[in-house]
Amino acid sequence: MKKSQLAGYLFASPWVITFLVFWLFPLLFSLYLGFTDYKLLKPTYNWVGLNNFVALFSDSEFLDSLKNTFIFVIGTIPFTTVIALVFALLLNKNFPGRTLFRSAYFMPSITSMVVIALIFTNLYSRGGYLYMLADMIGLSPPENGFLLSNKTALFSVMAMDIWMSVGYYMLLFLAGLKSIPEELYEAAEVAGAGAFRKFFSITLPLLKPVTLFIIVINTIKSFQVFVEIFVMTKGRYDSATAVYFIYETGLSRFEFGYASAAAYILFLIIAVFSFAQFGLLKQRGMR
């Protein structure tokens, strides 16, 4: 090996070692644990084959958490994406105070999620502003607050998540809008195209790569929702999501084998969805 090659390897080694020790090994080891009955306090553990995976698919707690995760994903992504796009289109125009609005919408994205979750916990509770507002406009909120009811807890967290995420995705859409050449709009105008025509024939097709990126990362993020649930409901009131289930099983009950199996099921679901989204959007010309 040449001296220059050795230097290259040496420079790369901190990252490679970190990757191997802190990423690859835990990833593979947790896959192995998924096939064992490993509990942290038990001195020994056994290979149990697919038992954990089979048990998970008959575990009502896990199935409920998966159901809640899907509700979260399906219920937030379309809203977040559409609202972010609308805000981006509005803020892409020149008007006084535009920067202020941009900053205001982006602010939740740079605020700690725990802080936001705590504030919303307050707003949703009986006597909180959102609770009182809902009461005032005749929405008859749950008696003990939005977060203490099976019917509203998860949806309340989802609403907060949409509010919190919109600003970040809006910024991505704005960047996408800025990259669309102005000449295209001028040419369309010369050809007599109206605002809708320009949006559907120019803006939307040219925003497809950004849209794909937003949908994929938002899907992955939403499948992994945890902090909001942990802070606001502790997984109670029919709001536990898959990652919360994994946390409870792994770090509260210390059933690492079972938790690892659940984590790999979630991993597979996210992988399938991500690839499907890529495939679907590519088929429609989003390259």
Partner 1 sequence: MKKHIILSVTLLLAAVILSCSGGQKQDGAVTLEWWQFWTDPAIKPTIEKMVADYETANPNVKVNLTDLTWANGHEKIVVAFSSGTAPDIVELGSDWVAEFSSAGQLADITENVIKDTAQFNGWSAGTWDSRIFARPWILGTRILFINRSLLRQTALGENAIPINWDQLKEVCYAIDSLGKGIYGFGSNAAEKHRLYKKYLPFLFSADGRIVSRDGKYAVFASDRAYRALKLYKELSDSCSMIDTQRRLEDAFLDGKVGVIISGDWLLKRIRNENIDIDFVTTLIPGPKYPWKSFAGGEFLAISENSTNKAEAARFIEYITSAENQLLFCKANYTATPSSKVAAKDEFFRSDPNLQTFIMQLNMSQMVTPMPQWVYVEDIIEKALEEVLFNDAPAAETLYEANQKIKELIFKE
Residues that bind partner 1 (CB under 8 A): 40-43, 121, 125-126, 143-145, 147-151, 233-234, 236-237, 251-254
Q: In whole angstroms, how close is the CB of 89 to partner 1 at the nearest point?
A: 39
The DSSP element (H or E) to which 181 belongs, if any, is none
Task: In angstroms, give the least distance from the CB of 254 to partner 1.
Answer: 6
Structure tokens at 262: 């659940």
How near is the Cβ of 258 to partner 1 at its closest, in Å?
12
Between 167 and 235, whose beta carbon lies closer to partner 1? Answer: 235
Q: Which of 134, 126, 150, 166 is nearest to 233 (CA)?
A: 150
> What is the spatial distance between Cα 25 and Cα 132, in angstroms, rounded to a whole number?
51
Neighbours of 89 (CB within 10 A): 16
Q: How far is the CB of 227 from partner 1 (least distance, A)?
A: 15
Q: What's at 39, amino acid-wise? A: K
Instruction: Compute the least distance from the CB of residue 183 to partner 1, in Å.
Output: 56
Distance CA 210, CA 89 (A): 14
Compute the least distance from the CB of residue 233 to partner 1, in Å: 7
State how far the Cα of 214 lies from the Cα of 165, in Å rounded to an integer: 11
Q: How far apart are CA 257 and CA 56, in angstroms?
A: 11
Of 84 and 153, which CB lies nearer to partner 1 in the complex structure? 153
Is the CB of 148 or the CB of 220 nearer to partner 1?
A: 148
Nearer to partner 1, 37 or 277 (CB): 37
**Distance set, CA 53 to CA 44, 98, 256, 267 (Å):** 20, 52, 13, 13
Q: Give whichever of 77 and 240 is closer to partner 1, judged by the CB atom.
A: 240
Q: Give the shortest CB-253-to-partner 1 separation in angstroms.
A: 6
Residue whose structure tokens are 């006597």 = 127
Q: How far is Cα 82 from Cα 166, in angstroms, rounded to an integer?
A: 9
Contacts of 33 (CB under 8 A, 6+ apart): 256, 257, 260
Residues of 180-202 as b/e, b for ≥16 C-beta within 10 angstroms? eeeeeeeebeeeebeeeebeeeb
CB 142 to partner 1: min, Å: 8
Among 67, 96, 222, CA closest to 160? 222
Q: In the complex with partner 1, which residue's Cβ is closer, 36 or 211? A: 36
Nearest CB to partner 1, comparing residues 98 and 236: 236
Q: Which lies closer to partner 1 via its Cβ, residue 40 or residue 74?
A: 40
